[in-house]
Amino acid sequence: MPTKAERPSEGGHWYDQHGNQIGEVERAKGDGMRKPTLRDARKNNWGPGVTTIIGCAAAPGLTHWKQQQAVLSALRIYRYVNDTDEEWMARVLEDAAKIAKDAAEEGTRIHAAIEQFYREEPFDKNYRAHVYGVSELIKENCDTSETLHPWLAETGVAHPWGYGTKADLHSEAWVLDFKGRDGNQDVMDNLKTYESHWMQLAATRQALDLKVPTKHKKDCAIVYVSRTHPSCCSFVKVTEEQLEQGLAMFKAQLDYWQAKNRHKPEWEGND
């Protein structure tokens, strides 16, 4: 059993200084692959992903959603006469975890289809409505008429502060991040952004601008995509004030993570 310090970070996301995400590393005895750990990161001079840093703070929205799923599971899961509290609660928690896992996996499939569309690659036609709905929404909100190659999908980048990330979709003028939600168009139209979104977009833009300097700061937005109602989606722009606050918050959490884990990669340009 690995120690706490040896276990992979949430999501197992580590990056090198060129923005390459490290998926797996070879086991010491050469018998297969495993997810990288903090020990690997220290040894290889890798930095954590943006989502790992943001995960240092509480996420009230996500916590509330998980609580709702647990309550719904409790209403749905039958309690047998001979069930102990522990047996019944274990089935409730197992059901709630499955709902969360299924939602995450469906979101991943939708995200993959959108990415493949913007890479001009074949994608799962079961998600045609999701993809085309997002494409039309982006056309309505983002003017890319003056750019030769308007969109790049899943671009890996790193920043000298010591973190890496992947930009879901970006152009010379925009940085977009996709988020899956459940609900119809009315639900999508009433969604807002959260501090974690501001941090993610601000940190991603910071790294992108360093890689490809631009005269003007890129605009940023969250694109919500419904997992349950194909073609339903919404576009929520993040203000510059929110992005400035998000970057300050992200930097504070990055400093905390590096101090707590006693690891800051030695990348060119580090302060």
Question: Would you say 243 and 249 are in contact if contact means Cβ atoms under 8 Å apart?
Answer: no
pTM of the model: 0.85
Number of structural domains found in the chain: 1
CATH of the domain at 177: 3.90.320
pLDDT tens for each residue of 233-258: 999 999 999 999 999 999 999 999 99
Cα angle: 146, vertex 152, 155; to 5 degrees: 145
Confirm whether 270 is domain-assigned: no
pLDDT tens for each residue of 176-221: 999 999 999 999 999 999 999 999 999 999 999 877 667 778 999 9
Q: Which domain holds residue 139?
A: 4-261
Average pLDDT on 166-178 reads: 95
Share of the chain above pLDDT 90, in %: 76
2 has pLDDT over 70:
no
Q: What share of the chain is helix, strand, coil (3-state, %, to 5)?
A: 50, 20, 35
Confirm whether 162 is domain-assigned: yes
Tokens at residue 188, please? 């999508």
Confirm whether 144 is domain-assigned: yes
57 has pLDDT over 90:
no
Average pLDDT, whole number, for the chain?
89
pLDDT recorded at residue 160: 95
Band of residue 1 on the pLDDT scale cut at 50, 70, 90: very low
Confirm whether 271 is domain-assigned: no
Confirm whether 268 is domain-assigned: no
pLDDT recorded at residue 7: 37
Single-letter amino acid, residue 77: I
pLDDT recorded at residue 6: 38
> Distance (Å, rounded) from C-alpha 5 to C-alpha 37?
8
Confirm whether 169 is domain-assigned: yes
What angle do helix axes 240-261 and 195-211 make, rounded to 10 degrees? 90
Share of the chain above pLDDT 70, in %: 91
Confirm whether 71 is domain-assigned: yes
Q: Between 148 and 202, whose confidence is greater?
A: 202
Which of 11-20, 68-77, 114-123, 208-217 is the most confident on average?
Answer: 114-123
Nearest to 172 by CA among 154, 148, 156, 155: 148
Confirm whether 266 is domain-assigned: no
pLDDT recorded at residue 64: 82
